[in-house]
Amino acid sequence: MTFNIAVVGATGAVGQEMLRMLEVRNFPVKKIYPFASSRSKGKKILFKNQEYEVIELTKENVKKYSKDIQLALFSAGASVSKEYAPIFAEDGIFVVDNSSAWRMEPEIPLVVPEVNPHTLAKDKKIIANPNCSTIQMVVVLAPIHKVAKIKRIIVSTYQSTSGAGGKAMLELYEESKAVLSKLSEESLISKDNSNFLVEKKQPSVFPVQIGFNLIPQIDIFLQNLYTKEEMKMVNETKKILEDESIKISAQCVRVPVFRAHSESVWIETEKKVSVQQAKEILASAKGVKVLDDPFNQDASLRYPTPIEATSKQITYVGRIREDLSCENGLVMWIVSDNLLKGAALNAVEILEELLYRKII
C-alpha cells in the first residue's frame, strides 16, 4: 500500500525536513503534493529524485486535488492550519499539524508516538504535533512517570534559532559575523561592551540582538508573566502524559545556536528513583539515548550537546543526578534536534503509527 501525501508549507524549513524524513524513513509514498503560499508558486521540490511543482495553497486547489490525497503534513502556521486543515479533514484526509492551532482542543489528539499513540483513532482526522520543546521532554520523562509518577517538573530550555525559522537563523549568522568583524584579541578584554553590540536591523525576528547573546523570551508574554512558549510546555505536557495533577513551571530562553534545543529538567517523583534506576529505565526507552559518562576522557561521551544532536533522529539525555534539595528529585539534561524529533520526525512517526495500527 502506498499513499499520496500533501505537504503544506513544503518550502519552509520544517516542510523540507518533513519531505526528507518521509524519504529517509522510506515511508510508502506514491506521490507528493507540495503546497505553499503564492510566494512559492511554481517552485520545484525534489523528492526521491522526482521533481514536483509547488501548488499554491487555495481552497480551490485543495478541493481539486483532495480526492487523490490520503495524508497531509502541515507546517504553515496556526492561522493557515485553522483555515485549511478542516478542509482536508472533511474529505477524509488525515492531517498531522505542526502548529499550535489544535493542540489544546479536547477532541484533537496531541501525539508523541513513544508516549500516547493510543489516542489516535479512525474518526480523528486532525492530529496535533506538539511543541518542539515539549516533545523532547516528554519522550524522556514519560517512562519515568510510568514507574514512579512525576509530581513536579521545573524546566529551563535553551532553544536554537531554527525554532523561529530560517530568517532567525540568518539573523544569528549576520549578527555574529558583524560582531566578529569588530573584534580583536585586545578588544575581547576591553571594558567597553560596544565591541559586542551590533545595530539591530528592522524589521527583525528577535526583539534584541541574538548574536553572542541570550534572550529570556520566546513568543509573547501572557498576563501571568509567563510566555506563550512556556505555557505551551505546561499545558501540553499535562495533556500528553494524561495527568493534570503534575505541577510544572518553565523558563524558555533563545540561545545563539543554529539548530537543536537543550533543556535542563528537574523532576520530583512520588516514589524514589535512583540515578541508576533512571538510567536503566531510559536506556530501554524508545527514541531515547542515554549519553552520561561524566568522567570519560572523551568529552563527546560525557553528555549531549546541540552540535552532536543536530540532524540526529534521537533524543539524548545526560547529566542524570539526584537533586540535593529534594528527597525524591532528579536533575537531567535533554538535547534533541528541534526540526526533527521536535517537528518533522515526530510528524512522520505519527503517520507510521497510523499505518502500524491499521488506522489508515
CATH architecture for residues 134-164+213-338: 2-Layer Sandwich (3.30)
Note if 326 is an active site residue. Answer: no
Note if 132 is an active site residue. Answer: yes
Q: What is the pLDDT of residue 189?
A: 80
Q: What is the pLDDT of residue 192?
A: 80
Q: What is the pLDDT of residue 186?
A: 78
Average pLDDT, the chain: 97
Q: Are 267 and 337 in contact (CB under 8 A)?
A: no
Residues 6 or more apart whose Cβ sits within 8 Å of residue 308: 300, 316, 335
Q: Decide if pLDDT at 182 tops 80.
A: yes
Nearest by Cα to 315 from 292, 334, 295: 334
Reading phi first (left if > 0) and then psi (alpha if -120 to 50, else beta), residue 38 is in alpha
Residues 6 or more apart whose Cβ sits within 8 Å of residue 202: none
Question: Out of 145, 252, 261, 326, which one is annotated catalytic?
Answer: 261
Q: Is 107 buried (19+), middle (13-18) or exposed (0-12) by CB count in 10 A?
A: exposed
* pLDDT tens for each residue of 113-149: 999 999 999 999 999 999 999 999 999 999 999 999 9
Q: Which 3 state secondary structure label does DSSP give 297? A: coil
Q: Decide if pLDDT at 191 tops 80.
A: no
- CATH number, domain 3-130+343-356: 3.40.50.720
* pLDDT tens for each residue of 242-293: 999 999 999 999 999 999 999 999 999 999 999 999 999 999 999 999 999 9
Instruction: State what percent of residues in the chain have pLDDT above 70.
Output: 100
Name the pLDDT band for 42 (thresholds 50, 70, 90). Answer: confident
According to DSSP, the residues that pair with 29 across neighbouring strands are: 3
* pLDDT tens for each residue of 193-242: 888 999 998 899 999 999 999 999 999 999 999 999 999 999 999 999 99
**In the chain, what are the domain boundaries?**
3-130+343-356, 134-164+213-338
Question: Out of 132, 145, 252, 326, which one is annotated catalytic?
Answer: 132
Name the pLDDT band for 190 (thresholds 50, 70, 90). Answer: confident
191 against 353, higher pLDDT: 353
Nearest by Cα to 320 from 299, 293, 297, 338: 293
Q: What is the pLDDT of residue 68?
A: 97
* pLDDT tens for each residue of 52-92: 999 999 999 999 999 999 999 999 999 999 999 999 999 99
Q: Decide if pLDDT at 10 tops 90.
A: yes
Q: How confident is the model over 154-180, as a mean pLDDT?
A: 97
* pLDDT tens for each residue of 323-335: 999 999 999 999 9
